[in-house]
Structure 1
Amino acid sequence: MPLHSVSVAGVVVREDGRILAIQRADNGTWEPPGGVLELNEHPEQGAAREVFEETGVRVEVERLTGVYKNMRRGVVALVFRCRPTGGEETTSAESTAVEWLTRDEVEERISEVYAVRILDALDEAAAPRVRVHDGQHLLETV
C-alpha cells in the first residue's frame, strides 16, 4: 500500500503584514518556506526548523492554519502561521531568493496551490482549512 509523505510549512508574517517567501532553487517557483517533517519531530518544531534552514529567519509558531493534500503525489502539508523572532534573511541550498512580499505580490508571484496557503494563514478568524489539489490547481472537496 502506498504511503503518504508529510511536509510542514511556515507562513511568516511580519508586524507590517509582509509575508516571507522563498524562490526555490530546484524549480524557480515562489513558495512559503517548508519541507519534509522528520520522524522524530513535532509538526511545529519541523515548521520552525524548515523556515530557519531555508531563510535564516527564526520564528515562533502561532497556530495551524491549514492541511493541504497533493492528490497526485500523496503529500500532506501542514501549514502554520508564524511570527519572526530573529535571524537574518539569507538564501540556502534550497532557495535562490528570500523576500518579504505584500499580499498583492503573493497573488501575483505565487501559484494557486501555494498562494492559498498564505491567504488562508492571513485570515486570522478562520479555523484551519482542509484543501486538496493536483499539484497546480485546487480540487473540489467531496
Structure 2
Amino acid sequence: MLLYMSNSAAEAQSTPLHSVSVAGVVVREDGKLLTIRRADNGAWELPGGVLELDEAPEAGVRREVWEETGIHVEVDELTGVYKNTTRGIVALVFRCKPTGGEERTSRESTAVTWLTPDEVAESMAEVYAVRFLDALDGAGPHVRSHDGKRLTPAR
C-alpha cells in the first residue's frame, strides 16, 4: 500500500511542536522577589504558566501571576527568553511591579513568599534562579536554553 502525503502535511509532521509559557519576575520596592512553591513538584519558582492561544503575552503574565499568587502586577519589559530543549517549552519572562492584591496560594502553589535575590539563588534550581537574576541585571533580554536541570551553552 502506498501512502501519499501533500507537501503541507509532510511539513507539518516534521515541524517540531513547542508550547509557549509566560512568567513574571515581580520586584517589590524593597527589592524582594515574588516566588511560589509549586504544588506539583514542591520546587520554588517564579509564577507563570502556559500562554492561551488568543492571549497577548503581557495579559498572560498578569493572569498567571494573579491566579497563582493573588498579586496584581504591571508588566514592565521582556527580560528573557528561555527554552527547555527536553520538553519543547519556550518561556517569555517579564519584569513586573506589584500593584495590589494579597498573597494567597492556589491549586498550583502551596506557598507564596517574597525572597531576596540571594535567597532566590540559594533555594531554586539554576534554570529558574537565572530568570530572576537576569531580570534584575538590566542587560536583557537574555536568550538561554536548558535541558530542564542545567543551562546549556549557546551555540
TM-score normalised by the chain length of structure 1: 0.98
Match of 2:109 in 1: 95
Between structure 1 and structure 2, the one with the greater Rg is 2
TM superposition shift of 1:85: 0.1
Match of 1:136 in 2: 149
2:61 to 47, 66, 71: 47
How far apart, CA to CA, are the structure 2 residues paired with 1:103 and 1:76? 24
Match of 1:68 in 2: 82
How far apart, CA to CA, are the structure 2 residues paired with 1:48 and 1:110? 22
Secondary structure of 1:46 counterpart: helix
Cα shift readout 1:79-120 (whole Å, capped 9, x = no counterpart): 000000000000000000000001111011011000000000
1:1-142 equivalences under 5 Å are 1-124=15-138, 126-142=139-155
Q: Which amino acid aligns with 1:133?
A: H
How far apart, CA to CA, are the structure 1 residues paired with 2:80 and 2:67? 22
TM superposition shift of 1:29: 0.1
Secondary structure of 2:61 counterpart: helix
For structure 2, the 5+ residue unaligned runs are: 1-14
Cα shift readout 1:38-74 (whole Å, capped 9, x = no counterpart): 0010001101100000000000000000000000010
TM superposition shift of 1:10: 0.2
* Identical counterparts, % of pairs: 72
After superposition, the CA RMSD in angstroms is 0.6
- 2:72–2:98 Cα contact (<8 Å) kept: yes
Runs of 4+ aligned residues of structure 1 deviating over 4 Å after TM superposition are none
TM superposition shift of 1:123: 1.0
TM superposition shift of 1:2: 3.1
How far apart, CA to CA, are the structure 1 residues paired with 2:130 and 2:140? 14
Secondary structure of 1:122 counterpart: helix
How far apart, CA to CA, are the structure 2 residues paired with 1:100 and 1:46? 21
Q: Which amino acid aligns with 1:110?
A: M
